[in-house]
Amino acid sequence: MDGIFVTNKNPELHADRYNGEDYVFPPGEKVFVPKAAATHMLGWNMKDKSDALVRLGKAMRYDPALKNFVEDSEGVRWLANFVFDEAVMVPQSTLAAKLSMPEIA
């Protein structure tokens, strides 16, 4: 499976859905998700994250003083608190061999 680890550095839990699957991102925990899901849900690997912010409802906020919606810079900060770490597949035999190798002093 082509996936990526996502760590939520926000103080609150985030739950989302992609392709019929529910994903929960507890603060500080790595969650493995398909790369396409990370792109759709959190804008991973996208230069312009506007679509993700709009879908998450974090692109705009209502300003009562202006009586209008304005860009929400907090949404960008919130989204930036998701850290992505690409997963690498390694055969189990390689890991076992590395674990059984004596350390060189």
pLDDT recorded at residue 96: 74
Q: What's the rounded Cα separation, in Å, for the pair 37 and 39?
A: 5
CA distance to 50, 71, 99, per residue, from 18 (Å): 18, 26, 37
**Greater confidence, 49 or 1?**
49
**Averaged over 15-41, what is the pLDDT?**
96
User: Are 49 and 76 in contact, with CB atoms under 8 Å apart?
Assistant: yes
SS3 72: coil
pTM reported for the whole predicted model: 0.77
Stretch among 3-7, 46-50, 95-99 having the lowest mean pLDDT: 95-99
Question: Which helix (H) or strand (E) is 76 found in, with range?
Answer: helix 73-80
* pLDDT tens per residue, range 19-29: 999 999 999 99
> What is the pLDDT, as a whole number, of residue 102?
64
